[in-house]
Structure 1
Amino acid sequence: MIKQSKRQLEIMKVLQIRNSCSVIELAEHLDVSDETIRRDIRHLAATGAVEKIHGGVMLPHNSLEPPFLSRLQEQREEKQKIARLIASLVKDGETLLIDNGSTSCYFAKELIAYRNLTVVTNSTEVARELCSRNHNRVFMAGGEIRSDDSASYGPAAVEFARQFTTQKAVISMGSIHGKQGCLDFDLPEAEFKRAIIPQTEQLIVAVDHTKFDKPGVINVCALKDIDLLITDQMPPDDIVDQIGANKIKVAL
């Protein structure tokens, strides 16, 4: 038997592969009763993560990425490894611009021993992790704070980010594609990332291997805009070719 939180995460993983599934199929897959699955579906539907359909469940029509809490658990060890590697490049007293990606949240946890950092972010999770530690200064973007990822978006957040110049910007991407470049799935997120890129001396993109050549929707930037790509596995050949052509540094 799978515990409730893990079971609901497993339901989301199944839906990411199949988009929809019946109650009976999920019950058999997870070795629980139909009623247990229905309770899980009601809980997930109440959060907006899924939509109930007759006899089953499906992802919302506008859901191109899993909910943020699910993303935090996916490739968790890989993201933590990436976060540690990024943190090893940071020095006390540096200025950082950090987005709201799941890897960024792990990165913030790796910074708790650093001192006198100046951090600009749109993530309440990143801000909460760093604001009260070691004489750090944290600037939090305004705008609408979404319930899914507790991050702020919109014109106010974009204009806020444009006021700062930082030594490093650490951002995630929904997809790294050999031909299409850096892509995302959410327009407000993409707009915030576009605002960050010109404001930093070094653009660090942090992605795990599942993001390589993944279909994306919204263009964020070209591969040539990246200064350092930090990941857990070497990218496919088409991306490696672009990395070499644009002299992008890669760290594993």
Structure 2
Amino acid sequence: MAKPIDYERKNRIISHVVANGHAKVNELAELLGVTTETIRKDLAYLQEKKILEKGHGVVTPSSSYLENPYAVKERKDVEAKTQIAHLAASLVPEQGVVFLDSGTTVAQLAKQLNLRNDLTIVTNSMIAAQVLQDTGNQLLVTGGELRQASFSYVGSWAIKALQQIKVDIAFMGCDGFHDGGPSIRSFRELDIKEAAITSAKRSVLLADSSKFQQTGMYLYAPFESFDVFIIERALNAEEKQYLPDSLNMLHP
């Protein structure tokens, strides 16, 4: 069996520790087919990012990375999210087919799209669907299993719905950044986000600058998967170093 590459290995470490509540270094090395030295380096990185904690001979999930309730997220950085949503709305083509991801920034975009009546809007977000319930646009909700922490639909039903649709533009959110791309705190949303990006002609990442100080547990796509990244301000040199030159940046 081929050894997993770096970010895949870290994601598998996180998944194993979260699923079991704890793990030992030798256990992880055997599971992933690498040396204990490699595992210790991975754990040092994940501890630095405050994803995992070490103690008493085992590693455990960091309490700071338990997912915030949706209502808490919704009240944070509202002005920044509104600015991002306004720019995002300007990218939506006439009579376009649009995918809206779950998340509070994308929910702000849903409010902007209520001003349109020529779109087909596809979403796995219960919040976005509620915002758009009286819209003049055609609204398609994926259905599936409701994940209450994010009020999003996940699972095979939602994924199959997306696989049967081609969208012009997908607007994606995140909980934070790994070095290589946006990340989320729940593995249950990985497949639905990957399906959305695959189904889209263009993918747009929406994230406010606070995400540079946060790291979700699971990388769901590299930055190269996105055509545009919209943020509320210009990035500094340190922030830019993580982004590919090909990524089109937009800010007010």
Say yes or no: TM over 0.5.
Answer: yes
Within the candidate set 87, 90, 96, 1:88 is matched to: 90
Counterpart of 1:224 in 2: which secondary structure? helix
Structural mapping, 1:106-125, within 5 Å: 106-125=108-127
Counterpart of 1:212 in 2: which secondary structure? helix
Runs of 4+ in 1 over 3 A off after TM superposition: 60-63
Q: Give me the whole-angstrom Cα distance separating, in 1, the residues matched to 2:184 and 2:116.
A: 30
Counterpart of 1:93 in 2: which secondary structure? coil
CA deviation string 1:116-162 (max 9, x = no partner): 2101111122122224322x111111211133332211121112111
Q: Which has the higher contact order (CA 8 A, sep 6+)?
A: 2
Counterpart in 2 of 1:21?
Answer: none
Q: Give me the whole-angstrom Cα distance separating, in 2, the residues matched to 1:62 and 1:240.
A: 26
Q: Give me the whole-angstrom Cα distance separating, in 2, the residues matched to 1:214 and 1:130.
A: 29
1:236 Cα deviation (Å)? 4.4
Counterpart in 2 of 1:158?
Answer: 159
Q: Give me the whole-angstrom Cα distance separating, in 1, the residues matched to 2:147 and 2:246.
A: 37
Which TM-score applies when normalising by structure 1? 0.70
1:248 Cα deviation (Å)? 0.7
Structural mapping, 1:68-217, within 5 Å: 68-134=70-136, 136-177=137-178, 179-212=179-212, 214-217=214-217
Q: Give me the whole-angstrom Cα distance separating, in 1, the residues matched to 2:93 and 2:124.
A: 22
CA deviation string 1:160-207 (max 9, x = no partner): 111111110001011234x33221111112221111111111110000
> In 2 relative to 1, CA 144–63 (structure 1 residues): closer, same or farther, beyond 3 Å?
farther
Counterpart in 2 of 1:219?
Answer: 219
Contact 2:155 2:188 in 1 (8 A): yes
Letter in 1 for 2:184: D
Contact 1:131 1:137 in 2 (8 A): no
> In 2 relative to 1, CA 175–227 (structure 1 residues): closer, same or farther, beyond 3 Å?
same
> In 2 relative to 1, CA 186–235 (structure 1 residues): closer, same or farther, beyond 3 Å?
farther
Counterpart of 2:165 in 1: which secondary structure? coil
**Structure 1: 5+ residue runs without aligned partners?**
1-59
1:237 Cα deviation (Å)? 2.8
Count residues in correspondence: 190
Contact 1:181 1:222 in 2 (8 A): yes
Contact 2:180 2:242 in 1 (8 A): no
Which TM-score applies when normalising by structure 2? 0.70
Contact 2:65 2:216 in 1 (8 A): no
Q: Give me the whole-angstrom Cα distance separating, in 1, the residues matched to 2:169 and 2:201.
A: 6
Q: Give me the whole-angstrom Cα distance separating, in 2, the residues matched to 1:225 and 1:238.
A: 21
Q: Give me the whole-angstrom Cα distance separating, in 1, the residues matched to 2:193 and 2:238.
A: 24
Q: Give me the whole-angstrom Cα distance separating, in 2, the residues matched to 1:204 and 1:106.
A: 15
- Superposed CA RMSD in Å reads 2.0
Contact 1:99 1:123 in 2 (8 A): yes
Q: Give me the whole-angstrom Cα distance separating, in 2, the residues matched to 1:63 and 1:240.
A: 24
**Structure 2: 5+ residue runs without aligned partners?**
1-61
Q: Give me the whole-angstrom Cα distance separating, in 1, the residues matched to 2:86 and 2:163.
A: 27
